[in-house]
Amino acid sequence: MKTLPHDDKADTSYGMISVTIVVYRPNLDELSSTLKSLAVALRQSSAPFAVSLVDNSPEPGDLATWLCQTVPDLAVAVRSGQGNIGFGRANNLALPEVGSYHLVLNPDVEMAPDALAKALGFMEAHPDCGLLTPLVHGRDGKRQFLCKRFPAALDLALRGFAPRRIQQLFRKRLDRYQMAEMPEDQVFWDPPIVSGCFMLFRGEVFKALNGFDPDYFLYFEDFDLSLRTAQISRIAFVPEVRIIHGGGYASRKGAWHVWQFLLSAVTFYRKFGFKLV
């Protein structure tokens, strides 16, 4: 564990924040931006931290050396050699080291410098909040609506696979599914589902849930974890916590991703019940 340099008079009342980032054949330019923004956000939060980078690549490179050269002021523990065990299982490798707060972070996310300071401040002020989700914009500047209602199969098909002209015909339906009515300047409590690109948990909540369900290899593990979180704690959308997210839809990534999406959808609906429309 390492604490970034900060003012000795800064508030250090927060418990340790643990951070896990899972990568697979990472885009190093993208990952560099993520880690540099994380380093700045940790510095501003003044919290002690432990960062774990889990490399699911089949032939891991020398990420440790690259990290020392790229973010020398950020201590990162690299886990590799386990092969591609899936997103959820890889994140769960960090369960024994989960701190007072635990951040699940995608390698294509850039945080505002004050994101963690504001997030931790909110959670300290609201002990009933077990999971926080931020305001998200894409690199094009457009808002991404990553809070969701429980998905009907039609919603998933339209959002993930339909041509844009078809999506426009169902715009009201899709806006309702992705909770587009949520304002950018107000806290919103208890969205049913939030994105796994940035999930800040109270550590005791993440540990009580035993992390992600390992039955999902890729996709829907964040849906599952959101619904289970709501059974024991509360979820808050906090728009003063801001991030930029890359991301993309499964259908745009090729047949393998589409197949994994469908497999995980079956697992999800078997567990929580099927909804067609």
What is the tens place of the pLDDT at every residue in 163-206? 999 999 999 999 999 999 999 999 999 999 999 999 999 999 99
Distance CA 119, CA 239 (A): 10
Distance CA 84, CA 58 (A): 6
What is the tens place of the pLDDT at every residue in 211-262? 999 999 999 999 999 999 999 999 999 999 999 998 766 666 789 999 999 9
pLDDT of residue 62: 86
Residue at token pair 């992390």: 211
pLDDT of residue 5: 33
pLDDT of residue 244: 97
User: How much is the pTM?
Assistant: 0.93
Residue 7: pLDDT above 60?
A: no
pLDDT of residue 9: 34
The amino acid occupying position 191 is: P
How would CATH label the architecture of 17-147+182-246?
A: Alpha-Beta Complex (3.90)
Sign of the dihedral defined by the CA atoms of residues 28, 31, 35, 36, in that order: positive
Residue at token pair 């699940």: 104
Name the residue among 146, 145, 53, 58 with its Cα closest to residue 103: 53
